[in-house]
């Protein structure tokens, strides 16, 4: 095989700072980084990685990931955020894995339904939203997907498979995709196509999102894009519903978009019955700093990168909280963010 013509060589950029691909703004240089635009390109890459024995790491916007300071030299980092597509399939919407979840709220708004409002300003792409079963208040991504399309990376043919949402073992921040080496390609939503106007608006929104270029994983830029879109819809007579105004107030109040972060670091322990952020508050750990990282003074479950933090700085504070919660409240809090290992190892 001619290595120079291989998919990895053709589709990967070399020596790319992962910090630019994470809302944390943290991560060393990736030797290989790919942004496939189609599922065919993705399959080609995976086949080539398998042939060459190279590990890969699949991700979306990087809003729930802590990349390592020294990424594995042979790991191929693959972001699906260029696989952004919204398609009306007869009466149903198909949305691909790289589409930002927040775009779905606008699709719903134009279609006259409030079922997607909760995705407004929820960072990240749909593929990871399904993988993590992302949520806001009582609503979760599993409430809005009908059929999920995916690749089983252990299947030599890498053919596209589908699974009904009912079989996806969705639970609080859990899905079947965390239990298998499967990559989500997209999903049919439960949302029906309501009008030609909705189809046209979906195309415009997607084009505007793509026109932002390389889609930096910057939270202020994410926030200003969606704020701009909601204002422009309001200018066309589509009023912003109260739920979305409340989301703006909540997320700006908690300073979600002011500093690089990955949102909540830990899951809530519902058996214990008190939110992790509240426990951190009770432990007086809010505002604790280490290196360039700080436990948010506004939200005990967020660790911010406020001054060129390293992954090691964030991990130090994660361990500090873990030990303090264990000692004081008797359980080990489960991380919500995904800590990407330094060593080369096949991983979703």
Ligand X SMILES: Cc1cc2nc3c(=O)[nH]c(=O)nc-3n(C[C@H](O)[C@H](O)[C@H](O)COP(=O)(O)OP(=O)(O)OC[C@H]3O[C@@H](n4cnc5c(N)ncnc54)[C@H](O)[C@@H]3O)c2cc1C
Q: What are phi and psi of 77, to 5 degrees?
A: -85, 125
Q: Is 140 exposed, middle or buried (0-12, 13-18, 19+ CB in 10 A)?
A: buried
State yes or no: residue 145 binds ligand X (CB under 6 A).
Answer: no
Work out how close the CB of 269 gets to ligand X at its nearest, in angstroms, rounded to a whole number: 16
Q: Which stretch binds ligand X (CB under 6 A): 68-76, 116-124, 162-170, 267-275?
A: 116-124
Alpha carbons 162 and 185: distance in angstroms, whole number? 10
State yes or no: residue 62 binds ligand X (CB under 6 A).
Answer: yes
Cα three-residue angle 117-119-120, rounded to 5 degrees: 75
Annotated active-site residue in 336, 341, 342, 347: 336
In the block, residue with structure tokens 């049919």: 188
State yes or no: residue 49 binds ligand X (CB under 6 A).
Answer: no
Of positions 124, 277, 300, 333, contacts ligand X by CB under 6 A: 124
Of positions 111, 129, 300, 333, contacts ligand X by CB under 6 A: 129
Residue number with CB closer to ligand X (80 or 109): 80
Alpha carbons 117 and 134: distance in angstroms, whole number? 13
Instruction: Extract the tokens encoding 26.
Output: 């943290």
Work out how close the CB of 200 gets to ligand X at its nearest, in angstroms, rounded to a whole number: 26
**Would you call 256 helix, strand, or coil by DSSP?**
coil
State yes or no: residue 184 binds ligand X (CB under 6 A).
Answer: yes
Residue number with CB closer to ligand X (239 or 242): 242
Element (DSSP H or E) covering residue 135: strand 135-136
Residue number with CB closer to ligand X (6 or 23): 23
Residue number with CB closer to ligand X (111 or 263): 263
Work out how close the CB of 86 gets to ligand X at its nearest, in angstroms, rounded to a whole number: 16
State yes or no: residue 102 binds ligand X (CB under 6 A).
Answer: no
| Residues between 221 and 260 with contacts to ligand X, criterion CB under 6 A | 256
Number of amino acids touching ligand X (CB under 6 A): 33
**Would you call 163 helix, strand, or coil by DSSP?**
strand
- Residues 6 or more apart from 341 whose CB is under 8 A from it? 68, 72, 347
From the centroid of its chain, how far is CA 256?
A: 15
Residue number with CB closer to ligand X (6 or 39): 39
State yes or no: residue 299 binds ligand X (CB under 6 A).
Answer: no
**Would you call 33 helix, strand, or coil by DSSP?**
strand
Residue 72's nearest CA partner among 120, 130, 33, 103 is: 33
Work out how close the CB of 239 gets to ligand X at its nearest, in angstroms, rounded to a whole number: 23
In the block, residue with structure tokens 């809005």: 144
**Is residue 85 annotated as a catalytic residue, yes or no?**
no
Contact 175, 162 (CB under 8 A): no
Alpha carbons 83 and 114: distance in angstroms, whole number? 26
Q: Which stretch binds ligand X (CB under 6 A): 31-39, 45-53, 126-134, 273-281?
A: 126-134
Annotated active-site residue in 6, 105, 264, 296: 264
Residue number with CB closer to ligand X (6 or 217): 217
State yes or no: residue 122 binds ligand X (CB under 6 A).
Answer: yes
**Is residue 336 annotated as a catalytic residue, yes or no?**
yes
Work out how close the CB of 260 gets to ligand X at its nearest, in angstroms, rounded to a whole number: 8
Number of neighbouring beta carbons within 10 Å of residue 70: 12
**Would you call 64 helix, strand, or coil by DSSP?**
coil
Residue number with CB closer to ligand X (133 or 198): 133
Which residues are near ligand X by CB under 6 A?
Answer: 23, 58-65, 80, 97, 122-125, 127-129, 131-132, 134-136, 177, 183-184, 219, 256, 261-263, 338, 348
- Give the catalytic positions in this structure: 264, 336
């Amino acid at each position: 095989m001619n290595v120079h013509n291989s998919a990895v060589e053709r589709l990967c950029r070399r020596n790319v700072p992962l910090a630019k691909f994470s809302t944390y703004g943290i991560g060393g240089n990736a030797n290989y980084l790919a942004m496939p635009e189609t599922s065919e390109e993705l399959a080609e890459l995976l086949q080539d990685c398998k042939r060459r024995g190279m590990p890969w790491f699949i991700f979306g916007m990087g809003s729930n990931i802590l990349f390592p300071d020294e990424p594995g030299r042979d790991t191929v980092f693959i972001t699906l955020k260029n696989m952004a597509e919204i398609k009306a399939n007869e009466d149903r919407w198909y949305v691909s894995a790289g589409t930002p979840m927040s775009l779905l709220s606008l699709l719903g708004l134009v279609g006259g339904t409030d079922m997607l409002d909760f995705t407004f300003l929820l960072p990240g792409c749909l593929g990871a939203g399904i993988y993590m079963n992302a949520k806001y208040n009582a609503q979760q991504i599993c409430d809005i997907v009908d059929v999920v399309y995916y690749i089983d990376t252990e299947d030599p043919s890498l053919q596209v498979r589908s699974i009904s949402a009912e079989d996806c073992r969705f639970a609080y921040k859990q899905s079947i995709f965390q239990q298998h080496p499967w990559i989500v390609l997209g999903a049919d939503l439960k949302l029906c196509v309501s009008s030609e106007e909705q189809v046209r608006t979906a195309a415009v929104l997607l084009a505007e999102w793509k026109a932002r270029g390389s889609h930096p994983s910057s939270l202020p830029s994410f926030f200003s894009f969606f704020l701009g879109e909601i204002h422009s819809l309001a200018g066309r007579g589509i009023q912003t519903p109260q739920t979305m105004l409340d989301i703006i107030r909540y997320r700006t109040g908690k300073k979600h978009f002011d500093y690089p972060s990955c949102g909540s670091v830990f899951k809530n322990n519902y058996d214990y019955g008190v939110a992790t952020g509240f426990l951190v508050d009770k432990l007086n750990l809010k505002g604790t700093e280490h290196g360039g990282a700080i436990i948010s003074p506004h939200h005990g479950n967020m660790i911010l990168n406020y001054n060129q933090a390293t992954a090691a700085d964030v991990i130090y504070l994660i361990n500090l909280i873990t030990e303090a919660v264990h000692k004081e409240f008797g359980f080990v809090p489960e991380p919500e963010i995904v800590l990407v290992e330094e060593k080369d190892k096949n991983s979703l």
